[in-house]
Amino acid sequence: MEVPSDQDLLLQLMKGSHEAFSIIYHKYWKKIFVYAYDRLKDTKQSQDIVQDLFVSLWERREGLQVDNLNAYLYASARYAILRLIDAQQAEAHFFTSLQHLSLDASAADHQMISAELLEAYRALVGKMPSQRRRIFQMRHEENLKTREIAEALNISQKTVQNQLLNSYQQVRSLLTRVLL
């Protein structure tokens, strides 16, 4: 039996074909996983990238405008990896900055700066849109994983990751203003 071309599979997928989706998934999941793992060196994160990519492909199937499926999947994976790395760096930067404050400041200065930072942080979190604030709090106050947050709020894991990325960018901006 001849395997349909990627273009034929895309046309069938756009019509809601589960079989076409399954063929695409089996053809590309391992390649995308290896690509993600080569960059992240983390099995769980690489699996999440693959899962999110294919969930997004299915959810967006009706409006897809893709000429080259292979290129589309790799570009989607690359952007997901970059967003994840950016979010991790923002989080690491936030906590590294707090550690430097603890080491470099005198006790009185430290208390004053910590109080200002905490006040600015709480104000920033309070001004976030309600869903973003809830996601941010679930991640950093309740220590839930993105998958757990997505399940609890009945939203996609990609939405959780995008909201966290936006909140990290806000926190980075806050740190820049407060610490400089």
Residues in the chain with pLDDT values less than 50: 105
pTM for the structure as a whole: 0.52
> What CA–CA distance (Å, rounded) separates 105 from 159?
38
pLDDT value for 128 = 83
pLDDT at 110: 61
pLDDT value of position 96: 60
Give phi and psi for 3, each to the nearest 5: -80, 130
Rama region for 162: left / alpha / beta (φ>0; ψ in -120 to 50; rest): alpha
- Determine the Cα–Cα distance for residues 50 and 28; give it in Å rounded to an integer: 9
Give the pLDDT of residue 65. Answer: 87
DSSP assignment of 83-109 equals: HHHHHHHHHHHHHHHHHHHHHHS-HHH
Coil/strand/helix, residue 156: coil
pLDDT of residue 129: 86
The answer to whether 20 and 27 have CB atoms below 8 angstroms apart is no
Q: What angle do CA 53, 57, 61 make, to 5 degrees?
A: 170
Amino acid 124: pLDDT: 78
pLDDT for the residue 81 = 86
Phi, psi of 144 (to 5 degrees): -85, 150
Residues in the chain: 180
83: Cβ–Cβ under 8 A, 6 or more apart, which residues?
A: 161, 162, 165
